[in-house]
Amino acid sequence: MKLQTLDEWSFDVFSLSEAAQGTPVKYLGYDLLSRYGMIHKFKVPTAILENFLGKVEEGYCRYRNPYHNNLHAADVAQTMHYILCRTGLMNWLTDLEIFATLVAALIHDYEHTGTTNNFHVMSGSEAALLYNDRAVLENHHISASFRILREDECNIVQNLSIEEFREFRTLVIDMVLATDMSFHFQQLKNMKNILSLAEPKVDKSKAVSLVLHCCDISHPAKRWDLHHRWTTQLLEEFFRQGDKERELGLPFSPLCDRNNTLVAESQIGFIEFIVEPSMQVCSDMLETILTPLNVKENNEESGPVDRTFQIIKPWIACLVENKKIWKEQAIKDDEIRAQKEQDHKKEDNEISNNAQGTNE
Ligand code: CMP
Ligand code: MG
Ligand code: ZN
């Protein structure tokens, strides 16, 4: 079993999935919830946990998506685990908040249809009708997951008190709704504003929501081989949506036209405009909230000093490396395109010359 490296930033979830016979959610979900002592603290019967994780895994496999499948769920849950344990975030959270955070990561794309919110809205899907075009997928992921918990044999929160359940439910809802990319810029701006105050007070729910959002878009900040594989799979999913859009006579959504999408360029843009600023704000936030927890421990003799605690950031080197590779790729793609254009022009000229020759 490939669980030895579970604490690493660039954990290979693809190998885990192979080792776990295609059930990474079940293996990872079970392992994480037991590592953090959740099974014991919230008295989760192990058979019930297995049933719940099995149902979640099934839902992720329903639409056979190249990207939004059980591997993505396991990947996001593992990244959440990395942040919880390797930055020390877990020490700032209560057991219930850790439980909610891990479950939110596991269910955050449950029963994803392999199409975007925009596609749901534009095609007038059942889900778009049900959720009035607002956060259509995210509402579904949450609602359908809580429906699993209604079944006694899958109810992992059956031994929580009423108050605990209310808090758990609110946290999971807030976190998963915040994974909707349309809140991205507002979410970052709000957090930046809070962090710029003289005495920043970061809300627990806002903090874990930003962490989940970052975990969700973290593959461009992982080792190249992993990031490249995720990108290929995500683009194939986007292209299949583009094929559907063409059939329905809808305009192509961004990155969905398989004949006219600049992959390398799109990834450079996604890294520079979305991933890097997110990781920056997230690490600033983590350092801000974790500083008070670390000052006492580190400075018993010299007394508290006003120095911010620093977390390790393995994503920085990965982002630099991945951008470099995409930039090289973009140059090569450009050359190939220019060559093709020239060839086409030459062909066109030859055709028109020949046509003129026969006319004369
Ligand atoms: P989802 O996992 O639901 O939430 C985050 C979204 O970001 C994801 O769906 C994709 O729509 C988008 N996303 C993630 N990675 C990339 C990427 N490398 N390029 C473009 N979009 C991405
Ligand atoms: Mg999502
Ligand atoms: Zn996701």
Nearest ligand by distance to the CA of 73: 3
- In 249-313, where does DSSP find H-type helix? 263-269, 276-298
Torsion of Cα atoms, 219 then 222 then 225 then 229, to 10°: -10
Q: How far apart are alpha carbons 279 and 322 in whole angstroms?
A: 15
pLDDT for 174 equals: 98
Residue among 49, 112, 129, 51 at smallest CA distance from 76: 112
Residue among 32, 28, 29 at smallest CA distance from 19: 28
Residue among 90, 316, 310 at smallest CA distance from 211: 90
Number of neighbours of residue 312 by Cβ within 10 angstroms: 10
Nearest ligand by distance to the CA of 75: 3
- Most ligand 1 atoms within 8 A of CB, residue of 69, 110, 139, 217 to mutate: 217
The alpha carbon of 136 and the centre of ligand 2 are apart by a number of angstroms equal to 10
Residue among 23, 45, 50, 181 at smallest CA distance from 108: 181
Residue 219, marked binder: no
One-letter identity of residue 59? G
The token duo for 160 is 């929580």
pLDDT for 274 equals: 98
Asked whether 234 lines ligand 1 (CB < 6 A), one says yes
pLDDT for 308 equals: 82
pLDDT for 357 equals: 65
pLDDT for 297 equals: 53
Asked whether 270 lines ligand 1 (CB < 6 A), one says yes
pLDDT for 295 equals: 80
Which residues, by Cβ under 5 Å, contact ligand 3, an ion? 109, 216
Residue 164's region, left for phi above 0, alpha for psi from -120 to 50, else beta, is: alpha
- In 62-94, where does DSSP find H-type helix? 70-86
Q: How far apart are alpha carbons 194 and 192 in whole angstroms?
A: 5
Please list, in sequence order, all residues whose beta carbon lies within 8 angstroms of the beta carbon of residue 252, skipping any fewer than 6 positions away. Answer: 242, 245, 246, 260
pLDDT for 5 equals: 87
Asked whether 176 lines ligand 1 (CB < 6 A), one says no
pLDDT for 304 equals: 56
pLDDT for 39 equals: 98
Residue 70, marked binder: yes
pLDDT for 293 equals: 94
pLDDT for 344 equals: 87
Residue 243, marked binder: no
137 contacts 126 by C-beta, under 8 angstroms = no
Asked whether 209 lines ligand 1 (CB < 6 A), one says no
- Most ligand 1 atoms within 8 A of CB, residue of 115, 175, 179, 181 to mutate: 181
pTM above 0.85, yes or no: yes
| Dihedrals phi, psi of 42, to nearest 5 degrees | -105, 15
3-state helix vs strand vs coil in the chain, percent to 5: 70, 0, 30
Asked whether 289 lines ligand 1 (CB < 6 A), one says no
241 contacts 115 by C-beta, under 8 angstroms = yes
Q: pLDDT per position in the chain (360 positions), as tens?
A: 545 689 999 999 999 999 999 999 999 999 999 999 999 999 999 999 999 999 999 999 999 999 999 999 999 999 999 999 999 999 999 999 999 999 999 999 999 999 999 999 999 999 999 999 999 999 999 999 999 999 999 999 999 999 999 999 999 999 999 999 999 999 999 999 999 999 999 999 999 999 999 999 999 999 999 999 999 999 999 999 999 999 999 999 999 999 999 999 999 999 999 999 999 999 999 999 999 999 855 555 655 556 789 999 999 999 999 999 999 999 999 999 999 989 988 888 888 888 776 555
The alpha carbon of 68 and the centre of ligand 1 are apart by a number of angstroms equal to 9
Domains of the chain by range and CATH?
2-291+310-338 (1.10.1300.10)
pLDDT for 353 equals: 84
Q: How far apart are alpha carbons 220 and 230 in whole angstroms?
A: 8
Residue carrying structure tokens 């918990």: 149
Asked whether 231 lines ligand 1 (CB < 6 A), one says yes
Q: Which atom of ligand 1 is nearest to the CA of 271?
A: 18
Residue 36's region, left for phi above 0, alpha for psi from -120 to 50, else beta, is: alpha
Q: Which atom of ligand 1 is nearest to the CA of 231?
A: 18
pLDDT for 319 equals: 98
Name the DSSP class of 150. Answer: T
Number of neighbours of residue 355 by Cβ within 10 angstroms: 10
